[in-house]
Amino acid sequence: MNNAREARQMLRAHRYGALCTLSKKFDGHPFGSITPYLVDHDGSLIILISTLAEHTKNILHDPRLSLITHNQDSPEIQTQGRVTVVGTAQIMTDKDTVGTRYLRYFPEAQSYFDMHDFSFYRIMPQSIRYIGGFGKIHWVEADSYLVPPYPLIQQENGAISHMNADHHSAMCRYCQRFHKIEVQHVEMLGIDCDGFDVRADEKILRFDFPEMVLDAQQARHALVAMSRVAR
C-alpha cells in the first residue's frame, strides 16, 4: 500500500481534527480550533461551520489552512500515526446534496444544518504530512493523494440501502471479526474506494478494503470476501 492511500485511510478513520486558520483579527497569527470533518470520496475534507465562528471569518479572509488528526483512542501521542492536511477551503453551494451524506455520519449536526448561517466548506489538499508511526514520515502531494471520479460515488446510496436491508448479520460479523466487539444494531453509513463505515451500537467503526474498489461490483466482491473471513 502506498503512502497516499495510507494517509487517506487514516483520515477516513477519524471524525474530527485540529483546524488551523490564519487569524484575520490578529494579522495572520495561527488560530486553532477543534472541528468535525468528513472525508469525501475523492479524499478532500468537508466541514460544516458557522459564519459567526472565528475560523470561518479567517477562511473568508484567507482560505489557506491546515488540519491535523490522530488516533484519538491511543495514549501514545508521540509515536502514534497522524496526518496533517495543508490546503485551502472553499464554500460549497450544494448544501442539501452534501448534507444527506454528512448527516448520516453526524446526525447531531441536524440543528446546525437547519440554520441559515451554517455552510459546508470543502478543504482541498495541496500537500499531506503523513506520519505512519516512528520513522515513517512522508510528504504526499495532492496529485497522488486525491482520487479521480469513480462509479461507486453515484452507486453509494444503492449499496448502503442493500447492505442495511439484507446484510445486517454479515455486518455484525464484520464488527466481531475485525474490531473484536459484539454489537446488537449496525447500519452502513458510507462506502468509498478505500473502505466503508458503520454505526455499531452508536459507535462509528471504519473497515478498510485491502485494495481500492471503484464500482459496486468490486465493492460486492470485497464485502463477500470479508464475509467469508468473518464466518
Tell me the average pLDDT across 30-54.
97
CA dihedral 160, 213, 197, 50 (to 10 degrees): -90
Is residue 35 located within the same domain as residue 131? Answer: yes
Is residue 131 located within the same domain as residue 96? Answer: yes
| Number of independent structural domains in the chain | 2
- Average pLDDT of the chain is 94
CB proximity list for 166: less than 8 A, separation 6 or greater: none
- Where does a domain end: 95, 117, 145? 145
**Displacement of CA 2 from its chain's centroid (Å):** 18
The answer to whether the CB of 191 falls within 8 A of the CB of 159 is yes
Is residue 104 located within the same domain as residue 77? Answer: yes
Which residue shows C-alpha cell 447531531? 108
Closest CA to 4 of 110, 143, 133: 143
Is residue 136 located within the same domain as residue 165? Answer: no
Which residue shows C-alpha cell 446484510? 167
- Where does a domain end: 96, 128, 145? 145
Is residue 124 located within the same domain as residue 183? Answer: no
C-alpha cell at 116: 441559515
Closest CA to 206 of 221, 216, 225, 191: 191
Q: pLDDT (tens digit, 9 = 90+) per residue, 106-141?
A: 999 999 999 989 999 999 999 999 998 777 899 999
Q: What is the CATH number of the domain that holds 73?
A: 2.30.110.10
Tell me the average pLDDT across 89-99.
94
* Cα(22)–Cα(19) distance, integer angstroms: 10
Is residue 121 located within the same domain as residue 68? Answer: yes
What SS3 state is found at 149? coil
- Where does a domain end: 111, 145, 179? 145
Is residue 21 located within the same domain as residue 112? Answer: yes
The answer to whether the CB of 103 falls within 8 A of the CB of 157 is no
Domain that holds residue 96: 3-145
Residue 19 has pLDDT above 70, yes or no: yes
